[in-house]
Amino acid sequence: MMKAVLISISVIFPLLPFIVLLAQGSEAIGLAGIVLVSLVEAFSAIRRGESLNYASWASLISIAFISLLSQGYIPYFFHVVLARVQNTAVFDGSILFPQYSLALSYLYRSYSRYARELSIKGFDEEEVNAELNSLSLSLLIILSSAAAASIALYYVMASLKFLSVDPFTALIIASIFFIYIARYIINKVKGSHNVQF
Pick the more confident residue, 197 or 136: 136
Mean pLDDT confidence for 99-120:
83
Half-sphere exposure of 104 (CA within 13 A, CB side): 31
Mean pLDDT confidence for 2-19:
85
Which residue range forms the structural domain that includes residue 164? 2-193
Please report the pLDDT score of residue 93 as a whole number: 79
Q: Which of 4-8, 79-83, 155-159 has the highest mean pLDDT?
A: 4-8
Mean pLDDT confidence for 109-122:
82
Contact, 69 vs 82, CB < 8 A? yes
Provide the pLDDT confidence category of residue 195 given band limits of 50, 70 and 90.
very low
Contact, 99 vs 46, CB < 8 A? no
Total domains in the fold of the chain = 1
Please report the pLDDT score of residue 35 as a whole number: 92
Residue 131: which residues within 8 A CB-CB, separation 6 or more? none
Q: Is the pLDDT of residue 196 over 50?
A: no
Q: What digits encode the pLDDT tens for the residues 24-81?
A: 888 888 898 899 988 888 887 777 656 778 888 888 888 888 887 777 677 777 777 7
Residue 163: which residues within 8 A CB-CB, separation 6 or more? 157
Mean pLDDT confidence for 163-178:
73
Mean pLDDT confidence for 12-20:
90
Provide the pLDDT confidence category of residue 193 given band limits of 50, 70 and 90.
low
DSSP state of 166: -
Please report the pLDDT score of residue 87 as a whole number: 77
Sign of CA dihedral 83, 86, 89, 94: negative
